[in-house]
Amino acid sequence: MSSTFALSFLLSLLLCFTLQPCFFISATGGSWELLQKSVGVSAMHMQLLNNDRVIILDRTDYGPSNLSLPNGECRNDPNDKTLKVDCTAHSVEYDVQSNTFRALMVQTNTWCSSGAVTADGRLIQTGGFNDGEKRIRIFTPCNDGTCDWVEVPNGLAVPRWYACDHILPDGRQIIIGGRKQFSYEFYPKTTAQKLFNLPFLSDTNDPGVENNLYPFVHLNVDGNLFIFANNRAILLDYVNNIVVKTYPVIPGAEARNYPSSGSAVLLPLKNIQAGDVEAEVLICGGGSNGSYTQSLKNIFLPALDTCGRIKITDSDPQWVMETMPQGRVMGDMILLPDGNVLIINGAGAGSAGWEQGREPVLSPVIYRPDNLMGSRFEIQNPTTIPRMYHSTAVLLRDGRVLVGGSNPHAYDTFTGVLFPTELSLEAFSPDYLNTQFDNIRPTIVAPVNQRTLFYGQKQKFRFSCTGPVIQSEVVVMLVAPSFTTHSFSQNQRLLVLGNNRMVVIGNGFYDVEATMPPSPVLAPSGFYLLYVIHQGIPSQAIWIHLQR
Ligand SMILES: *[C@@H]1O[C@H](CO)[C@@H](O)[C@H](O)[C@H]1NC(C)=O
Ligand SMILES: *[C@@H]1O[C@H](CO)[C@@H](O)[C@H](O)[C@H]1NC(C)=O
């Protein structure tokens, strides 16, 4: 047991005597499964597509990967920093259902890049390093193993390394920031102006340590973008390039963005048919002040154990701070289909960066946003594989969370280091997947997967359930699949559609009616995972295609 973990465990015991109910005293929730010992590349970036394939990207400039390209293909890249002729893959397509993978050919360096999925389901991947810094890369999903990356040279106006993307209500994608880029731009480019200044990014750029990279970007319910960088946030009207709101500095004023990598989510959006939807952002963990520079001197400061929660739609928004059971830097925050937040991966000390993290935090934590303060965190069962810098996690259609990556080295390094490069994939199954809940678990039987639905449409979902169903405990939820890298899931979004009414069909079948979101401001057009949840237990999702 590490000293920080021991300390937080003691603290949690102390708290448990004063606060009831107490969840985080026992670490019993969830289970782990090793899916693949090696997929050949380390999962620095991951995106789930609507055919249940996960696109995994590493970077191209660390030499050969552990997976050959098919048919003797090689990439000839005179600009590559390490290998001019490289016959190995740096991207793979992982098929969740068959638990198999195939090599993809990426032409340019995707290191620390960003991405988003368009309304028609294509992954538009942006930027990176060196010859990849201005690239747009497009991946159109296919089921026959023939699709691959198509690249657009000079697709970006300026180099974007450590930027953040978001899909917009009008269907375009915004690309924000990146190293030494205090601006944003769009893809595709539909206006004469190609580049928009964002002084907020230079204002939050600490000299010495650029603690504002990979800004946390969330589409607010009013159509503006909430952008958090370093220790503060703005609400940006990106159309008119006006800052419409400035949020208070997060208490403690420590930086939460790369390399002080904390993580952030937009909490589940509820009552979305009402005119006044509230939106809250939760930011957790990060490297403590000075952790980046200290770790370069082999001093590994304990990671932050605080979360800040703020109602971004409030007229006078204020941060409310909470304490996690453990400190965590480089964690990932994943919205689960039961409306809770999984905090997973990362380290208890140090910083993001090469060899700069220590004390892997092997136990995920579940945060229950609707519980009373003091009883929201619950420690989960640990994995055995440290997931340090360059690790990732994404939600799958069946409710499991796919976990991969971890490569805190400049090159793939498998021996002689504290945290070897990880080529493995694991799945974390939250407790809701436990077979003990099978009798209350809904199974969606209609419509079938891939149904197109329209804004404001009322739709019946037929499900079966072997045990008795409590009608008031049935809700329908939508989850947007995210592009995850560097502890942040770009485009992550969960909407609670609720339950208009339910009809008992008989023989264990039920129809629940839900209304699709009223507008693309609340849910940009595209593919969503739709879950029916009963008593907190989610079904396997179906993909729906939300269209205008
Ligand atoms: C990857 O390849 C290297 C070099 O061939 C080898 O030493 C290493 O064991 C491989 N690692 C895995 C996890 O397959
Ligand atoms: C971080 O540390 C620096 C140097 O010690 C100090 O000047 C600064 O005020 C600290 N910032 C915070 C938010 O504590």
**pLDDT value at residue 456:** 97
Among 289, 294, 297, 299, which residue has the most ligand 2 atoms within 8 Å of its CB, making it the best to mutate? Answer: 289
Residue 107 belongs to a domain: yes
Q: 150-152 and 136-139 as β-strands: parallel, antiparallel, unpaired?
A: antiparallel
What pLDDT is recorded for position 498? 87
Indicate the top mutation candidate among 67, 385, 407, 414 to test ligand 1's pocket, ranked by most ligand atoms within 8 A of CB. 414
Is there an atom of ligand 2 within 6 Å of 508 CB?
no
Cα(289) to centroid of ligand 2, in Å?
A: 6
> Strand ranges (DSSP E) for 254-364?
263-266, 280-284, 306-311, 319-323, 332-335, 341-344, 347-350, 357-360
Pair 391, 332: CB distance under 8 Å: yes
454 and 427: one domain? no
Q: What is the CATH number of the domain that holds 347?
A: 2.130.10.80
Q: Which ligand is nearest to the CA of 249?
A: 2
Output the CA 346–ligand 2 centroid distance in Å. 23
Q: Are residues 24 and 48 in the same domain?
A: no
Count of domains in the chain? 3
Q: What pLDDT score was predicted for residue 79?
A: 92
Q: Which helix (H) or strand (E) holds 187?
A: strand 183-187
Sole residue written with tokens 């993580």: 263
Burial class (CB in 10 A: 0-12, 13-18, 19+), 228: buried
Residue nearest atom 8 in ligand 1 by C-alpha distance: 414
Q: Indicate whether 265 belongs to any domain.
A: no
Same domain membership, residue 32 and residue 56: no
| 1 and 103 both lie in a single domain | no
What does the pLDDT profile of the chain (548 residues) look like in tens digits?
344 434 444 444 444 333 433 444 445 799 999 999 999 999 999 999 999 999 999 999 999 999 999 999 999 999 998 999 999 999 999 999 999 999 999 999 999 999 999 999 999 999 999 999 999 999 999 999 999 999 999 999 999 999 999 999 999 999 999 999 999 999 999 999 999 999 999 999 998 899 999 999 999 999 999 999 999 999 999 999 999 999 999 999 999 999 999 999 999 999 998 888 999 999 999 999 999 999 999 999 999 999 999 999 999 999 999 999 999 999 999 999 999 999 999 999 999 999 999 999 999 999 999 999 999 999 999 999 999 999 999 999 999 999 999 999 999 999 999 999 999 999 999 999 999 999 999 999 999 999 999 999 999 999 999 999 999 999 999 999 999 999 999 999 999 998 999 999 999 999 999 999 999 999 999 999 999 999 999 999 999 999 99
Q: Which domain holds residue 359?
A: 1-37+271-433
Q: Residue 208 falls within a domain, yes or no?
A: yes
Q: Are residue 206 and residue 79 in the same domain, yes or no?
A: yes
Q: Please give the number of the atom of ligand 1 that sits closest to the Cα of 421.
A: 13
Which residues does a 6 A CB cutoff place in the pocket of ligand 1?
Answer: 38, 66, 414, 423
**Secondary structure, 3-state, 229-261:** ECCEEEEEECCCCEEEEECCCCCCCCCCCECCC
End-to-end CA distance of the chain: 53
Which residue, 433, 460, 480, sits at the end of a domain?
Answer: 433
Confirm or reject: Cβ of 290 under 6 Å from ligand 2.
yes
d(CA 324, CA 343): 10
Alpha-carbon torsion angle 13, 18, 23, 25, nearest 10: 10
- Is 266 among the domain residues? no
Residues 287 and 366 in one domain: yes
- Statement to judge: residues 68 and 202 lie in one domain: yes
Nearest CA to ligand 1 atom 3: 66
- The pLDDT value recorded for residue 450 is 94
Helices vs. strands in the chain: H and E counts, helices first: 3, 44
pLDDT at position 27: 55
Last residue of a domain, one of 214, 247, 280: 247
Cα 223 to Cα 226, 268, 277, distances in angstroms: 9, 16, 12
Instruction: Flag whether 252 is in a domain.
Output: no
Q: Report the CATH number at residue 202.
A: 2.130.10.10
Q: Which token pair is 58?
A: 């590493």
pLDDT at 19 (0 to 100): 40
Ligand 2 atom with the smallest distance to the CA of 231 is 13
Instruction: Evaluate whether residue 262 is within a structural domain.
Output: no
Residue 254 lies in a domain: no
Indicate which CATH number applies to the domain containing 517. 2.60.40.10
Q: What is the DSSP string of 509-521?
A: EEEEEEE--S-TT
* Res 513: pLDDT: 98
Whether residue 115 is found in the same domain as residue 236:
yes
- CA-289 nearest atom, ligand 2: 1
- Ligand whose nearest atom lies closest to the CA of 206: 2
Write the Ramachandran bin of 212: left for phi over 0, alpha for psi from -120 to 50, otherwise beta.
alpha
Gap from CA of 93 to ligand 1 centroid (Å): 20
User: How much is the pTM?
Assistant: 0.95
**Cβ contacts of 191 within 8 Å, gap of 6 or more:** none
Q: Mark whether 282 and 422 lie in a shared domain.
A: yes
155 and 222 assigned to the same domain: yes
What confidence tens digit (pLDDT) does each residue in 220-279 have? 999 999 999 999 999 999 999 999 999 999 999 999 999 999 999 999 999 998 888 999
The SS3 assignment for 203 reads helix
Ligand 2 atom 5 nearest Cα:
290
Q: Ligand 2: does its nearest atom lie under 6 Å from the Cβ of 211?
A: no
Same domain, 196 and 299: no
Instruction: Indicate the residue among 193, 212, 247 that finishes a domain.
Output: 247
3-state secondary structure of 451: strand
Identify whether residues 84 and 180 lie together within a single domain.
yes
Helices (H), 281-402: 291-296
